[in-house]
Amino acid sequence: MQEFTYTIKDEIGIHARPAGNIVKIAKEAKSDVSMECRGKTADLKKIFSLMSLSVKCGDEVKISVSGDDEAEICEKIRRYLTENL
């Protein structure tokens, strides 16, 4: 399993559009992908699950990826977060 933490800098947090894009990346993965925020965990392959975390600006999120392509997916999500959120 690979993990990393990231602090959301985007003003509005993870809203529908970026949530959609993150789910898109997670769905391509063979690995299980999850995000933890304020004690709640979401399955990143499910958009409602991610949206119900209602991640805001300044929140620290922990991403965990476990499976065959964990390194690649971890890097993709990290890149998406740093470039967009």
Partner 1 sequence: MEILRGTGASQGVALGRIKIIKQKNTDVTKHTIENVAAEIARFNSAVEKTKETLGVLYEKTVTEASEAEAEIFSIHIMMLEDGSLTDCCESIIYEQSVNAEYAVSEAAKVVCAMLVDTNDDYMMARTADVEDIKNGILTSLTGENGDVILDENTIVFAHDLTPSQTINLDKSKILAFVTEKGSKNSHTAILARSMKIPSIVGVTGCMRAEFDGLECGVDAEEAAVFIEPDEKTKSKIFVRGEVQKSREEKLRTLKGKKSITKSGKEIKLYANIGGEDDLDSVLQNDAEGIGLFRSEFLYLGRAELPDEETQFCAYKRVLEKMQGKETVIRTMDIGADKQAACLELEQEENPALGYRAIRICLEDTDIFKTQLRALYRASVFGNLSIMFPMITSKDEVERVTELASCVRQELKDEGISIDEDVRLGIMIETPAAALISDELAPLVDFFSIGTNDLIQYTLAADRQNDKIGNIYNPTHPAVMKLIKMTCDSAHRAGIWVGVCGELAADTDITQTLVAFGIDELSVSPGYVLAVRESIINSN
Token digits of residue 67: 């499976």
Asked if residue 24 binds partner 1 (CB under 8 A), the reply is: yes
Asked if residue 67 binds partner 1 (CB under 8 A), the reply is: no
Residue 9 has φ and ψ, to the nearest 5°, of -110, -15
Where b means 16+ CB within 10 Å and e means fewer, 35-55 reads bbbeeeebebbebebbbebeb
Binds partner 1 (CB under 8 A): choice among 28, 30, 38, 58? 58
Q: What is the dihedral of CA 35, 32, 71, 18, to 10 degrees?
A: -40
Asked if residue 51 binds partner 1 (CB under 8 A), the reply is: yes
Binding region for partner 1 (CB under 8 A) out of 9-17, 30-38, 62-70: 9-17
Catalytic residues: 15
Residues that bind partner 1 in the complex, under the rule CB under 8 A: 7, 9, 11-13, 15-17, 19-20, 23-24, 27, 45-49, 51-54, 56-58, 82-83
